[in-house]
Amino acid sequence: MSKKLDPQAKALMDIIARAAAPAVHTLDVAKAREETRKMHIYFSPQAPAVASLRDMRIPSEEGEIQIPARLYRPLGSAPEEKLPLLVFFHGGGWTVGDLDSYDVLCRALANKARCAVISVDYRLAPEHPFPAAVDDAYAATLWAQQHAEELGVDAARIAVGGDSAGGNLATVAAILARDRGAPRIMFQLLVYPATDQCSERPSQRQFGRGYLLDLEAISYFQHKYLRHARDYHDWRASPLLRQDLAGLPPALIITAGFDPLLDDCVAYADHLRAAGVAVEHHCFEGMVHGFLTLGKMFTASGEAVDLAARALTDAFRQ
């Protein structure tokens, strides 16, 4: 039995077609960033109130780079309360995306999971190609644990999360943290993460055109981020290629049924399970890549945020 595209996803495809918006792979980087920002703002729901929001700068491990970030504390939390923390990395093919585009999502996750959220504005390609984003993701996560006291968070209850490129960075940060012995991460929230830059799995062909994320866009982002052929095979770009995943924290993997990355996500979930990692995989069958942040358009977006928040809440109680 073939699955059906959700009517709300079909409506979005129709809106995009009527607008005759240029495909992202035809745009220069500055324009691609502008168009992506406009789409998030237009299709995001109203931003919920939070207890506090603070923009900050996080130093790189060497201290030479200042990584922009935004700290959220949930509505109803006391300033002196030590909260669990989600370190979050936005999507956008390592090339587009920013703090403002993911502001609504981070607010919602903070409130619903009753945790603090640090949204990390890691360096983007092509100005800063691979592995700059990886370095920033790990540095920000390590810094958050080391500065838990001043952030008002519990250093023993830290999760990482992200969507698409951000999901890639979250899982790579988790692997690096395991390999280096710090920081201790207790949970991974991975939303349609990019896990294999060399993928030729069936969903790439089946959903690679006409479902928001086209193969041309994937190639566009890869060429901005990965400058050398060897980078595609580096596990920090393609974590599915990392052989040893034992000892990683439990994960929730959220996928979309009409996403060219679907089979890569399923393969990564299977790879984690084979290594003894507890994994919950939930596929929103009628959805397309990117649906999580488009809550004004998709009912499933709210359902996915609720699912993510419940998983975070349960993990933080362990």
pLDDT score of 16: 86
Whether 289 sits among the annotated catalytic residues: the reply is yes
Phi then psi dihedrals of residue 139, to 5 deg: -60, -40
Residues of the chain with pLDDT under 70: 1-2
* Whole-angstrom distance, CA of residue 106 vs CA of residue 187: 17
Q: Which two tokens stand for residue 44?
A: 């995001």
Of 40, 90, 271, 289, which residue is the catalytic one? 289
Within its chain, how far is the Cα of 123 from the centroid?
Answer: 15
| Rounded Cα–Cα distance for residues 167 and 191 (Å) | 6
Among the listed residues 6, 136, 163, 259, the single catalytic one is 259
Of 70, 102, 84, the residue nearest 312 (C-alpha): 84
> Are 138 and 176 within 8 A, CB to CB?
yes
The model's pTM is 0.97
Give me the residue spans of the domains in the chain: 7-316
Q: Count of residues for the chain?
A: 318
- Residue 17 is predicted with a pLDDT of 86
- pLDDT tens, 205-245? 999 999 999 999 999 999 999 999 999 999 999 999 999 99
100 is catalytic: no
Q: How many Å apart are CA 3 and CA 193, to the nearest integer?
A: 21
Q: What is the DSSP letter of 198?
A: T
Task: Report how far residue 123's alpha carbon sits from residue 67's, in angstroms, rounded to the nearest whole number.
Answer: 7
Question: Alpha helices, DSSP H only, in 275-317?
Answer: 299-316
Question: How many contiguous H segments (helices) and E segments (strands) does the chain have?
Answer: 10, 8
Active-site residue, 259 included: yes
Query: What pLDDT, in 10s, does the model give residues 42-95?
Result: 899 999 999 999 999 999 988 889 999 999 999 999 999 999 999 999 999 999
- Active site residue: 44, 164, 238, 301, which one? 164
> What CATH code would you report for 7-316?
3.40.50.1820
Closest to 13 in 3D by CA, of 266, 265, 298: 298
